[in-house]
Amino acid sequence: MDTKFVLDLPNEKTANFGFMWNMLRNPLEALTHLAQDQGDIARVKLRKRDLFLLSHPDFIEQVLVKQQNNFIKGQSLQRARIILGDGLLTSEGNEHRAHRHMLQPAFYHQRVEEYLPIMNENTSRQMSPWRDGASIDMSDEMMRLTLNIALWSFFGNAPEGAVERVNKSMGTLTKLFPLTQLPVPDVLRRLLPGFKKANADLREVTESLSKNPRSEKAKNALIHILKENCEAQFTNEQIHAHTLTFLLAGHETTALLLTWCLDMLAHHPQVQAKLQGEVDHVLGDRFPHEEDLQNLPYTRTIIKETLRLRPPAWAIGRQAVQDCEIGGQHIAAGSTVLVSQWVTHHDARFYENPHQFRPARWYEIENIAFPRYAYFPFGGGNRVCIGEHFAMTEAMAGLAMMSRRWSFMPVQEAPAKPSPSITLRPNKNVKLIIGRRAV
């Protein structure tokens, strides 16, 4: 596979304020241009330390896997501790390793399959008020759906008002996120208007989740592991941090995946028709079982293609602990290293017509030598998404169930535009017209 090395960097000596300005204005464009201008190893000289954007799959693999012990989470994730505490997303080193090991059983494949009935029941309940010809705000619907699924799967209950409170607080915190990134002491950041209220609301939700009796359905789930290890391993503060992390990391990304997916289907009727043919044939009139998910290859390509074109996690930041070398480039300790799903998933060297939504490309990719890290919607290495299998199961089952009953038609002429914040959201809520299918 060709690499675009440009080790002799044109703007090496320039403190690149232009780039930082573009990053604030439009980070997707800024990163894309940086990779186009400078190649697979792009370097921006900042005031104190360098920033590198590594775009070739081999270099991404170096950061996420082969040299993973030399990289810690970037500064922005460290600062997110003010919201998330020391949960799995933000912790480092031995603490991260030990906690991941303890929490992993809640995500074993056989356990995720136990969650499938919960996913199905919630999807069915979510669709029950839908009416033929209605215009539905899918952004909102999918957020509610995945939050309910996370609450019931991981905690075995959804306390009264929890969905509204979490959604509202999440909205506030997402808006405040850029401000929480300012290099000021935590006490000042905590004074941001709305911040205190959003955090207090979330804390009430996590406390009620761990207090309320869990349902039988969740007896082996996350809350069980957290409570069993309470006192011995986890402090109350850590239980709050883990609960919050799983609620937040576990619902918004999957909600966005489903929202983008439905928007793409509404604008690609042939893809939608083929999907309907597959789910009608495999599911007939019943909810999806675990074996069905293996027999829905086209549904899977649609999910994969959506994750390629609109990756909910659009960039991953790391900081080098010690000096190292990647692709012949010296990377000094303290440098920031970015790898971006957005940039690499749109690289024409790996994907023909990369901006086109074409799920069938994944059948072709199966038959060629394809670099592993040209596609990394869930990251990789020791920090790979713990919820990958959960999210794929949820998205496959949800999409299959929705497409079995409903057709989706666009309200807008074109699919929504991506708007990057912590995650890759649509620039405005996606509204679609739904039509009841004659089944």
Does 387 sit near ligand HEM (CB under 6 A)? Answer: yes
Dihedral angle over CA of 156, 161, 162, 163, nearest 10: 100
Residue 82 or 407 having the CB closest to ligand HEM: 82
Residue 104 or 427 having the CB closest to ligand HEM: 104
Does 383 sit near ligand HEM (CB under 6 A)? Answer: yes
Residue 30 or 316 having the CB closest to ligand HEM: 316
CB of 7 to ligand HEM, least distance (A): 26
Residues in region 323-382 near ligand HEM by CB under 6 A: 377-379
β-pair type (336-339, 316-320): antiparallel
What beta strand segments (E) does 55-200 contain?
A: 71-73, 135-137
CB of 176 to ligand HEM, least distance (A): 21
Residues in region 131-150 near ligand HEM by CB under 6 A: none
Distances (CA, A) of 158 to 105, 118, 148, 195, 213: 22, 12, 7, 23, 11
Q: Pick from 23, 51, 82, 88: which binds ligand HEM (CB under 6 A)? A: 88
Give the closest residue to 311 by CA, choosing from 370, 248, 267, 354.
354
Q: Are 326 and 55 in contact (CB under 8 A)?
A: no
Does 403 sit near ligand HEM (CB under 6 A)? Answer: no
Q: Count the residues of the shown chain that bind ligand HEM, applying the rule CB under 6 A.
A: 23
Give the closest residue to 120 by CA, choosing from 408, 434, 405, 400.
400
Residue 38 or 116 having the CB closest to ligand HEM: 116
d(CA 12, CA 3): 20
Does 156 sit near ligand HEM (CB under 6 A)? Answer: no
CB of 96 to ligand HEM, least distance (A): 6
Q: Pick from 45, 81, 100, 168: which binds ligand HEM (CB under 6 A)? A: 100
Does 67 sit near ligand HEM (CB under 6 A)? Answer: no
Does 422 sit near ligand HEM (CB under 6 A)? Answer: no
CB half-sphere exposure, 215, CA atoms < 13 A: 12
Give the closest residue to 401 by CA, choosing from 297, 285, 305.
285
And the tokens for 242? 């883990």
d(CA 422, CA 420): 7
Q: What angle do CA 159, 177, 28 make, to 5 degrees?
A: 115
Does 385 sit near ligand HEM (CB under 6 A)? Answer: yes
Residues in region 232-251 near ligand HEM by CB under 6 A: 245-246, 249-250
And the tokens for 247? 């609620």
The type of residue at 141 is: E
Residues in region 273-312 near ligand HEM by CB under 6 A: 312
- Which parts of this chain interact with ligand HEM (CB under 6 A)? 73, 88-89, 100, 245-246, 249-250, 253-254, 257, 312-313, 316, 377-379, 383, 385-387, 390-391
